[in-house]
């Protein structure tokens, strides 16, 4: 997946979204959200819904707060045995955090 000019995060798994404003690479927030938007649409929307509106069959990713970063990355890397696929072979950390940044940019569910 093309993650544009985002700084390379490497293999060591972060426990916090580096692209969130105020964090290490917060200045890339807008760029990460944009890359995350297409990565989300191509890989996650089929199950988690267009613009993360889940419709209730899968968890609504907009409900995760900034305290859930570690939980988020663990789920995306490893998946679950209840239907969430593992992405660590097909996606790098940059793409995973870009998706997280995109979802954070969306309005929270009512």
Residues in contact with ligand HEC by the rule CB under 6 A: 43-44, 46-48, 58-59, 61, 64, 72, 75-76, 80, 82-85, 87, 99
Nearer to ligand HEC by C-beta: 24 or 68?
Answer: 68
Placement of tokens 């907009």 in the chain: 62
C-alpha torsion 29→32→34→37, nearest 10: -120
Q: Which residue pairs from 55-63 have beta carbons closer than 8 angstroms and sit at least 24 positions apart in sequence?
A: 58/83, 58/84, 60/109, 61/103, 62/103, 62/106, 62/107, 62/108, 62/109, 63/108, 63/109
Q: Which is nearer to ligand HEC, 53 or 64 (CB)?
A: 64
Nearer to ligand HEC, 30 or 65 (CB): 65
Tell me how far, at minimum, the Cβ of 76 lies from ligand HEC, in Å. 5
Cβ of residue 51: shortest distance to ligand HEC, in angstroms? 13
Task: Tell me how far, at minimum, the Cβ of 40 lies from ligand HEC, in Å.
Answer: 6
């Amino acid at each position: 997946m093309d993650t544009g000019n985002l700084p390379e995060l490497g293999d060591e798994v972060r426990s916090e979204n580096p692209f969130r404003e105020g964090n290490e690479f917060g200045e890339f927030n807008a760029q990460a959200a944009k890359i995350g938007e297409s990565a989300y649409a191509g890989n996650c929307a089929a199950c988690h819904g267009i613009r993360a509106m889940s419709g209730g069959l899968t968890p609504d990713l907009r409900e995760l707060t900034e305290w859930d970063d570690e939980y988020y990355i663990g789920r995306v890397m490893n998946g679950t045995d209840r239907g969430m696929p593992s992405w660590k072979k097909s996606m790098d950390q940059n793409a995973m955090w870009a998706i997280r940044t995109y979802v954070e940019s969306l309005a929270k569910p009512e």
